[in-house]
Amino acid sequence: MGLPDRFKDSMKDLLGSEYDDFIRSYDNKSISAIRINTSKITPEAFEKKAPFRIEKIPYISNGYYINDTDAWSKHPYYYAGLYYIQEASAMLPAELLPTDPEDIVLDLCAAPGGKSTQLSISGIRMLISNDISFSRTIPLVKNLDMFGMSDHCVMCEDPKRLSVIYPETFDKILVDAPCSGEGMFRKDPGLILSYDKRGPEYYSPIQESLLDSAYKMLRPGGMVLYSTCTFSDIEDEQVILSFLSSHNDMSACHIDKDHGLCGPYAKYSEEDSLKNCVHAFPHRFRGEGHFVALMKKETGQCPEQESLDDNKVFSSFPHQADDIRRFFSAGLSERMEEREFICSKDGMIYMLPEGFESIYRRNIRYVRTGTCMGSLNRAGKFTPHTAFALTLDPDDYTNTIDLGINDPMVIKYLKGETVIPEADGEWDIKKGFVLVCADHYPLGFAYYDGTKLKNLYEKGWIYR
């Protein structure tokens, strides 16, 4: 691999005697992995039904090494949201950020969503995922939807602006900062070209600004986890040193250095504030590369939050629409009674996260607020959305068809095709909306007219 000379020179200086082992690691193939969605299945249960070979990742509670990424990305279990395909070291930041059930967590640079999906199943109260790029929020929303998450919100805002709107608001903040990407050269050699144009010096001011914004939004006693997928000390140790020196009420928290993880470079051995930082190198463990630092805010005073007149912002479920009432009478009414909803100008209906009023601000650019339930056209006809289907347990909905995972009709459905039963087949379902499942895991909705299933699978998610 043609690594940049300045990258090699920098790593030789930083790693010393380990440099040769580090460079030799680039002769090996990159390692792929998946992370199990524990809101749908336990790792132990998944191990028994995994369609292909897996090997446990020792430092990730629900992570597994895999061989063929393409095969895993085309299996129905992927479309059912049972796992997320993610490079192993990229699982470290969300794994190492401690969370509690009452936490409101902000993923500040969230796209494409790998770390957000990981945080979303950590048992927190609510997840706020933000990205400054609108185009990047599109896959972010899709990945959260496919994971079946409901108590989340996606924003598209400049972190500096958010820090003014949300002073000392969040319990935990993840800053997986944009970086020069040195840790991903083996996985994506194309990043070398962008590195030649924009190296560590370009990104370090951006990273420092992001940490400063996160600090302003962090509650006293809260934690911020900073991570990059680069090896450069300019973007790692030096950014943390600069941040801690200018924020005296922040301190670095201990992170165990197990499974090949190691501390800061030797040149920073005298810096006590850096002893808890962690590097992941491809010559020390089975993964690509990451840097992680966990810090806690010791003091501060939480400002009073803006009070809201909920009646002007949210609405109860629009029961006046007959189509919606019929849909939710199929075993879902009780679940919906105490939730709040909002209907967008284009007729999309969203079930808001519980407690959403506490973080709602009128001047925020929201891309997604909670679960997309479906759409209501001008004639009052309701169509349920695939995202809502993936939040359900098949027992939640009475009109359900459960196909075998290897049934050819599963792939036909995921391709957006009309599904017709075999000549000698018979379905025990009623006319109307049907929840389509594979191996008892929801995939989406269809409309049954008595002879065939009209496909309602989300067009942007079609099986390729």
Q: Which residue has the higher pLDDT, 208 or 151?
A: 208
Quick: pLDDT tens for 98-131: 999 999 999 999 999 999 999 999 999 999 999 9
Average pLDDT (155-163) is 98
**Same domain, yes or no, for 111 and 254?**
yes
**Same domain, yes or no, for 273 and 422?**
no
The answer to the question of residue 204 being in a domain is yes
* Run of H or E including 105: strand 104-107
Average pLDDT (317-343) is 65
**Same domain, yes or no, for 421 and 373?**
no
The answer to the question of residue 440 being in a domain is yes
The answer to the question of residue 46 being in a domain is no
Q: Which residue has the higher pLDDT, 327 or 447?
A: 447
**Same domain, yes or no, for 274 and 421?**
no
Q: Which residue has the higher pLDDT, 306 or 155?
A: 155
> In total, how many domains does the chain have?
3
The answer to the question of residue 39 being in a domain is no
**Same domain, yes or no, for 364 and 247?**
no
**Same domain, yes or no, for 262 and 359?**
no
Going by pLDDT thresholds of 50, 70 and 90, the confidence category of residue 380 is: confident
pLDDT value for 417 = 96
**Same domain, yes or no, for 183 and 329?**
no
The answer to the question of residue 59 being in a domain is no
Q: What is the pTM of this model?
A: 0.93
Q: What is the DSSP-derived secondary structure letter of residue 315?
A: B
**Same domain, yes or no, for 286 and 424?**
no
Quick: pLDDT tens for 240-252: 999 999 999 999 9
Average pLDDT (2-13) is 95
Residue 421's CATH number:
3.10.450.720
Quick: pLDDT tens for 277-312: 999 999 998 999 999 999 999 976 555 545 444 444
- The residue range of the domain holding 405 is 394-461
Does 316 score more than 50 pLDDT? no
Average pLDDT (180-204) is 93
**Same domain, yes or no, for 237 and 107?**
yes
Boundary (domain end) residue, out of 242, 266, 297: 297
pLDDT value for 137 = 97
Does 199 score more than 80 pLDDT? yes
Average pLDDT (19-30) is 94
pLDDT value for 344 = 79
Quote the CA–CA distance of 126 and 273 in Å, as a whole number.
31
Quick: pLDDT tens for 34-83: 999 999 999 999 999 999 999 999 989 999 999 989 999 999 999 999 99
Q: Which residue has the higher pLDDT, 256 or 301?
A: 256
Going by pLDDT thresholds of 50, 70 and 90, the confidence category of residue 157 is: very high
Which amino acid belongs to residue 118?
Answer: Q
The answer to the question of residue 83 being in a domain is no
Residue 267's CATH number:
3.40.50.150
Q: Is 463 exposed, middle or buried (0-12, 13-18, 19+ CB in 10 A)?
A: middle
Q: Is 41 in contact with 48 (CB distance < 8 Å)? A: no
The torsion region of residue 265 among left (phi > 0), alpha (psi -120 to 50) and beta comes to: beta
**Same domain, yes or no, for 453 and 385?**
no
Going by pLDDT thresholds of 50, 70 and 90, the confidence category of residue 314 is: very low
Does 206 score more than 90 pLDDT? yes
The answer to the question of residue 227 being in a domain is yes
**DSSP-assigned letters across all residues of 168-216:** T-EEEEEEE-----GGGTTT-TTHHHHHHHS-HHHHHHHHHHHHHHHHH
- The phi, psi pair for 269, rounded to 5°, reads -65, -25
Does 235 score more than 80 pLDDT? yes
**Same domain, yes or no, for 358 and 331?**
yes
Kindly give the residue spans of alpha helices, DSSP state H, lying in 218-360. 237-246, 310-313, 322-328, 333-336
pLDDT value for 309 = 44
Going by pLDDT thresholds of 50, 70 and 90, the confidence category of residue 317 is: very low
Tokens of 444: 């989406």
Q: At what angle do helices 200-217 and 237-246 cross, to 10 degrees?
A: 40
Boundary (domain end) residue, out of 361, 389, 417: 389
Average pLDDT (353-379) is 90
- The phi, psi pair for 400, rounded to 5°, reads -130, 145
Known catalytic residues are 229
pLDDT value for 421 = 78
pLDDT value for 1 = 66
Boundary (domain end) residue, out of 341, 370, 389: 389
Residue 379's CATH number:
3.10.450
**Same domain, yes or no, for 355 and 418?**
no
Average pLDDT (377-383) is 85
Quick: pLDDT tens for 391-408: 998 888 888 999 999 999
Does 339 score more than 80 pLDDT? no
Does 322 score more than 90 pLDDT? no
The answer to the question of residue 282 being in a domain is yes
pLDDT value for 20 = 97
